[in-house]
Amino acid sequence: MNNIAMEGKEDVLEAWYMDDSEEDQRLPHHREPKEFVSFDKLLELGVVSWRLNADAYETDENLRKIREARGYSYMDICEVCPEKLPNYEAKIKSFFEEHLHTDEEIRYCLDGSERRLIVLPAGLYHRFTLDTNNYIKAMRLFVGEPVWTPYNRPHDELPARKEYVESLSRKEFGTHAVESH
């Protein structure tokens, strides 16, 4: 499966297929020629996002509606940067390994280069990295108790992966939208 990176520009979520370069993972890693992934394709893959008011996350009515509609009952906030994360370089290298989770991964970037709430479905292989600013303050949301376990590729035998692949063939995604205005 192709690696996809996402970056926000104004009100548009930008995603592209990544190259296989061994260069610094914080660089964009565009293929040549650049291959972008459409917003519709991201929805088809089950990736949803919202641009909210990160400065007012504690009182944001739109965030409250999304959390309520999607059942996100657990929340915490973490900062990822060299000053706050022990073994920073090793940790971000491990985050960059392509992996999946058995639950949705929900991250709301409150501070950093991109300020957006993004939801990745359970079973979707993905990566996490920072850009060259080396900083993100993120809210992590979960349905129920948090499950942090990443399963590095390949883990196609996991029920979450099988269900995800099956849901793609049934075209189930795109039906979980929540109005935020």
* Residue 30 annotated as part of some ligand binding site: no
- Cβ neighbours, 10 Å, residue 91: 12
DSSP codes, 132-175: TT--EEEEEEESSS-----EESP-TTSHHHHHHHHHHHHT-TT-
Residue (of 108, 116, 98) closest to 161 by Cα position: 98
* Residue 181 annotated as part of some ligand binding site: no
User: How far is the C-alpha of 16 from the C-alpha of 123, rounded, in Å?
Assistant: 20
* Residue 176 annotated as part of some ligand binding site: no
Q: Tell me if residue 117 falls in helix, strand or coil.
A: strand
* Residue 35 annotated as part of some ligand binding site: no
Extract the annotated binding site for Fe(2+): 99, 101, 105, 126
Extract the annotated binding site for Ni(2+): 99, 101, 105, 126
Extract the annotated binding site: 99, 101, 105, 126
